[in-house]
Amino acid sequence: MSTADFDFLVGEWVVANRRRTDFLDGTSAWEEFTAMSRASRHFDGGANFDEIVFPSLGFRGLTLRLYDPDRDEWSLHWANDRSGTLFPPVVGRFGADGHGEFYGDDTHDGKDVRVRFVWSGISDTTARWEQAFSVDGERTWVTNWVMDMSRPG
């Protein structure tokens, strides 16, 4: 693990999104929409920032990723222009296989949820991010948002 873990994100991406209409119901329908993302590297790689624009949904979001060398882990902080606040972070790392897992606690629709972000399929031109929620102490997970990223053009 290193400060270069999120260097793959630097630059522009076209993002194909699939998201559950109910984040806690694994049988709910999927909605699909596109987005554009632009990421940048800071603090010699110890920080990474991206902004994502969802034109059809009418909002923007951003993620600030910070590397803690003492813990050898990343914290990922999400915000959107609807709330104007940072959501609680997810924390984790990438394995030797390039697969990253990050966990945290939050609430959704008034329920406490355990949150998992997974990064996979990383190459120069592709990446995949998945979000899942658990309401039963990580015994089961509902994957509720998937972003398949590709370089434009």
List pLDDT tens digits, range 126-146.
Answer: 999 999 999 999 999 999 999
* Mean pLDDT within 71-90: 95
- Domain boundaries of the chain, sorted by first residue: 7-150
76 vs 9: CA distance, rounded Å = 14
Higher pLDDT, 1 or 43: 43
pLDDT value of position 118: 98
Q: Taking the complete model, does pTM exceed 0.75, yes or no?
A: yes
Q: How far apart are the first and last CA of the chain?
A: 31
pLDDT value of position 67: 97
Residues in Cβ contact with 117 at an 8 Å cutoff, skipping those fewer than 6 apart: 76, 90, 92, 100, 101, 102, 103, 129, 130, 131
14 vs 89: CA distance, rounded Å = 24
Query: Could you tell me how far CA 61 lies from the centroid of its own chain?
Result: 11
4-49 pLDDT, tens digit per residue, is 999 999 999 999 999 999 999 999 999 999 999 999 999 999 999 9
Averaged pLDDT of the chain: 96
pLDDT value of position 33: 97
Q: Note whether 70 and 29 are within 8 A (CB).
A: no
- Tokens of residue 110, six digits: 């008034």
pLDDT value of position 26: 96
Q: Which CATH class is domain 7-150?
A: mainly beta
